[in-house]
Each structure stands twice: as structure tokens, then as C-alpha cells.
């Protein structure tokens, strides 16, 4: 028997497959044609995303979908540094 475990990269909790969301962060480096972007892929659980204000529940209609997308865009822009810190990135002044 094969058992898969799904672990959040932030809180390290084991969660169900549907409770883990893939998160991708891209960094584009201007002026470089080769290796233009650096990409980091992590899996973050619903609880950790909700704590950052990201709405993860499925919308019931098109209007709610658009509202959630706009709210999530704003939350992600406001919390991008928090996400990186949670994932172990150290910012030095």
C-alpha cells in the first residue's frame, strides 16, 4: 500500500490533498535574456493562506469569483514579503 502525505511548507502540518495549495513566486531579472526568471514552487495549506487573507473557498457564482480574485490580488500584494519570510527568505537592510 502506498500512502501519500501532504505537508504544508509553512507550518509543516500534514493535511488532506485538497487542503494544500500550490504557490508559485517568480522573480524576473531585467536585462537578462538567459535565465530570465527565478521560480520558487511551494505548497501552502488552507489555514496558512487564510491567515494571510487569501480566500480559498470555491466561489458560488461569477460575481463572487471576481470579488475573491480582486481581494486575493490585494492580499497577495500586501503580504508577499510575509510569505517569503514564512518560507525562510531572510531580508537584510
> Which residues lie near Zn ion (CB under 5 A)?
8, 10-11, 45, 48
| Smaller CB separation from Zn ion, 30 or 88 | 88
- CA–CA distance, 49 with 35 (Å, rounded to integer): 29
CB-closest chain residue to Zn ion:
8
Instruction: Provide the 10 A C-beta neighbour count for residue 1.
Output: 2
Instruction: Provide the 10 A C-beta neighbour count for residue 84.
Output: 14
Minimum distance from residue 88 beta carbon to Zn ion (Å): 14
Minimum distance from residue 50 beta carbon to Zn ion (Å): 10
Amino acid at each position: 500500500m502506498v500512502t501519500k502525505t501532504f505537508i504544508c511548507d509553512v507550518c509543516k502540518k500534514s493535511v488532506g490533498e485538497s487542503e494544500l495549495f500550490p504557490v508559485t513566486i517568480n522573480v524576473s531579472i531585467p536585462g537578462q535574456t538567459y535565465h530570465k526568471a527565478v521560480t520558487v514552487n511551494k505548497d501552502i495549506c488552507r489555514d496558512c493562506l487564510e491567515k494571510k487573507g487569501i480566500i480559498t473557498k470555491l466561489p458560488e457564482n461569477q460575481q463572487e469569483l471576481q470579488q475573491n480574485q480582486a481581494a486575493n490580488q490585494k492580499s497577495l500584494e500586501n503580504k508577499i514579503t510575509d510569505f517569503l519570510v514564512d518560507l525562510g527568505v531572510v531580508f537584510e537592510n
